[in-house]
Chain A
Amino acid sequence: MNRRQFIFRSLALTVAASTGYAVYQYQSLQGTDNAAVLVLDALLPAVLMGALPADARSQQLSLQQTRDAVLEFLAYLPQSQQQQLHQLFQLLQQDLARLALTGQWLQLADLPLTQRLSLLLSWRDSYFSLLQQAFSGLRELIYGAFYGQPQHWQAMGYSAPEFNP
């Protein structure tokens, strides 16, 4: 990152913080990483396009449960990986905030899903190993959390036996 980009990023972050950012402060999970919440909230609806339930209410619930499942899962990773992920979420949060601003959207929530998907694909195809890792890591966390929930199995025609309910 050069000096100009750095200044731009810092500025973007400040503006983002003063506008839509507060909306994403997540209250119910104590002590969780706000950057993680913001990034997940921004990416989940894009990554899960085509898989989410149709009606708005179940969709919202599904997004929230998937985000919570991701956040809960992180605790099982080794400390070093958790720290890396924490830094990654900070970085990605800046990327998202910058994208929202440069596109004149006031809040991340207004950023079109296609733009969020493009951003993800740009991480996948980036020259930076860190962003490539971010793409595959986030993808895995999100799909793992989503398809771990039995309410999402119907569309797949899958059901699990229950020997020990």
Chain B
Amino acid sequence: MKNLIADGVSSGWSYLDASTLTTDRHFEADIVIIGSGAGGAMAAEQLTLAGFKVIILEMGALYEGKDFQQQERWAYPALYQDGAGRKTLDQSIGILQGRTVGGSTTVNWTTSIRTPDKALDYWRAEFGCDFTSDNLAPYFQQAEQRLNIHPWPVPPNANNDKLKQGCETLGWQYTVINRNVSGCANLGYCGMGCPINAKQSMLVSTIPSAMQAGAILISRVSARELKWQNDQVQSLVAVPVDQYYQPTSKIKLSFKAKHYIVAAGAIGSPALLLRSKLPDPSGRLGKHTYLHPSAISGALFDEVIAGHSGAPQSIYSDQFVWPGDGQIGFKLEVPPLHPVLMATKLTGLAQSHAALMQQFNKLQVIIALLRDGFHPDSQGGTVVLSDQGEPMLDYPLSDYLWQGVQKAYLAMAELQFAAGARSVLPIHQDAQLYSSWKQAREAIKSLSLQKYRATLASAHVMGGCNMSANAGQGVVNLQGRHHQLENLSVFDGSVLPSSLGANPQLTIYALTLRNTAALVKALK
């Protein structure tokens, strides 16, 4: 086991931790990429191999393989936005988002799903996108080969197996998940950074490859403003972050490049464009941000579940994701069960909470990811800037969404009982442990559908710089190029015009590969 990047740096790769700087610095390159996640790093490899001089900027720190500790108290502050405490503006939805070299790919649960046809159809109808599963297939294949994405051949852990069993009993659809792993030991700690380099995140694939070919990586740096004039970005100003990842003001880093790629994630990218006061004639910059808001249902089983152990996600069910009645759909998956993640999400207080935690190993948990953004009553959230210029996501919860939450509680409870649960607990302040499906069904129908009562979480942030054929309908064009500024692209989840009804990493990889190929052609 090696620390690929650290070893490469010892042998001469270019790496800088911006927080160690004591004087201002200026850099020049062909292409500056802001963000080292699924979009930024995938583009970095292709562009470097095509012969461009590339600089990759990352706000988080460089941690890899041997640095990862299998403890949430280490991993969350070190690897996640706001120490994994990121929330929407009114605090009603928790957001898990990576902030480290490799971005969310360093901490995600490895689920790799091609963009659903129904999402592509919607983008074509509403935003003039020209994608089909056929014309994207070469890019999906390229990403799948690059990251060894394949169906997980190992039997699911008990947490996932209960999802499967419930589906089998009820005759509901389910699928074995494709994962981007190689030599995976089925540990269950993907969310804290893979300690054995098995997860094929950007950290072990495209970033080392780009650096080997000459790309410069700068960590702990926050991009503050794109300076622009007429239709050109002139330069980028950035600052180091401190030990708590707060931007500092003493030292400045400036960058001049022929082309700039923003890939700071669907909250960070719109924030940078907003801070830079970029033209926004469509009025959509920072708007229509989607989250797959997720409702949660816990269940207690007689047997041991130990949901912390084994691949975190290996089964999903699409039984309810595309209902024909115009209602919001939801995808059923499970999360890994670790103490902090569970203790903070589970309901109950004092003894009731402690009693639930004591049955931790018998707990099974399902999440229902609401497919937001395909309906007039689901237009997503808006990124606004705080007084300090930091992004805050205002995400209102509509009745349309709440109806989906209620249906999701019902489906999850029915499934958990069908899988043999002794009792089921919808994660809602007013809910209790119900001992039968009949009892749960009645109780769920009377749960108040209000923020703070229902615990909602998100691990997928999408939109905010959406792509569109027509400049009046989006921020970037179908190649991810900014509609107004000629030498600026956005390559990350923020270009998506809706949510996906599927985990986003593979969509981001494929679109980035496609758009990077077009960019290479255009710049050569």
A residues within 8 Å of B by Cβ? 46-51, 69, 73, 75-81, 117, 120-121, 124, 129, 132-133, 135-137, 139-141, 143-144, 146-150, 152-153, 155-158, 160-164
Contact = CB atoms under 8 A, between A and B. Distances in A.
Nearest to B87: A81
Given A78-B392, A79-B246, A143-B344, 9 more contacts: A69-B73, A80-B387, A136-B91, A137-B91, A147-B342, A147-B343, A147-B357, A148-B71, A148-B73
A156 B72 contact: no
In which size bucket is the chain B interface?
A: 35 or more
A140 B70 CA distance: 20
Contact of A146 (B66, B343, B361, B452): B343
Interface in B337-379: 338-340, 342-344, 349-355, 357-358, 360-361
24 contacts: A50-B352, A50-B354, A77-B85, A78-B82, A79-B387, A117-B350, A132-B452, A133-B91, A133-B452, A136-B452, A141-B85, A143-B343, A144-B85, A147-B357, A148-B72, A148-B340, A152-B339, A156-B357, A157-B361, A158-B338, A163-B196, A164-B65, A164-B66, A164-B67
Contacts of A144: 76, 85, 340, 343-344
Given A133-B90, A160-B71, A164-B67, A76 B349 contact: no
Contacts of B308: 158, 160
Contact of A156 (B70, B358, B388): B358
A121 B91 CA distance: 18
A153 B82 contact: no
Contact of A79 (B73, B390, B452): B390
A73 B83 contact: yes
B342 to A, nearest CB: 8
Given A79-B246, A158-B361, A164-B195, A153 B339 contact: yes
Contacts of B342: 147
A46 B272 CA distance: 43
What are the 10 A-B residue pairs with the smallest beta carbon separation, nearest first?
Answer: A50-B354, A148-B73, A76-B83, A163-B195, A50-B351, A80-B386, A49-B350, A147-B343, A51-B354, A143-B343
Contact of A76 (B82, B94, B355, B387): B82
Contact of B339 (A47, A50, A81, A147): A147
Contact of A143 (B69, B87, B353): B353
Contacts of B349: 47, 117, 120-121, 139
B446 to A, nearest CB: 16
A158 B70 CA distance: 12
A76 B85 contact: yes
A155 to B, nearest CB: 6
B520 interface: no
A148 B78 CA distance: 14
Given A49-B354, A157-B361, A148 B69 contact: no
A161 B357 contact: no
